[in-house]
Amino acid sequence: TILSPSDAISMKACLYDYIANPRPVYLRISKNSAGEVYKEGEKFSINEPNLVISNNSEIVVISTASMSATIKKIISDNNILVDMIDVICLDQSSINTFHNNIGQYRKIIVIEEHMNQTGLSSKISNLITTFNLDVRMKSYGTNICFDENTGDRDFYLKKNSIDLDSLFKILKDSE
């Protein structure tokens, strides 16, 4: 099981879930706090994707980990009229549970801080083809590349065009 909590509240829920249900778990822990996705006491699922923002849009943004907090803030602060889904459990079986939900959208935008080829984007793409969904998908994440240029998290976000300015433009242009 791969758990990728998006904020402190979902991190706490992941830990409590693991204590209650011991099993092999890979827990992705973000080094930074990008903000809040869930409020204390709010109901959400660790094992199924969560609709975090609903604007009754034909476009949905799907993200995971601290990127979800960043995306939620951009959408909310700028009144961008898209829906948003946060994914905590990255197992394909958990992602497959919401094929009916994403089938209602005409466009899916997946944004993650991981490689598109092996991360959430690949799992959503697999879901679309497995269930033959009639939807367009665009993904943003890191690319497989190794070079001599190194830097901190912000350097890599900017290099892969998933920094705050780029994300704002992606989301605004998606409406």
User: Among 133, 64, 140, which residue's Cα sits nearest to residue 101?
Assistant: 133
The owner of tokens 């909590």 is 5
The pTM score is 0.89
If you ran DSSP here, which 8-state letter would residue 173 be given? Answer: H
Q: What is the DSSP secondary-structure string of 141-171?
A: EE-----S----HHHHHHHTT-SHHHHHHHH
Can you say whether residue 56 is alpha, beta or left, with left for phi > 0 and alpha for psi between -120 and 50 degrees?
Answer: left
In tens digits, the chain (175 residues) has pLDDT values of: 889 999 999 999 999 999 998 889 889 887 667 789 999 999 999 988 999 999 999 999 999 988 999 999 999 999 999 999 999 998 878 887 888 888 899 999 999 987 777 789 988 998 899 999 999 999 998 876 655 667 777 888 888 888 889 999 999 888 7
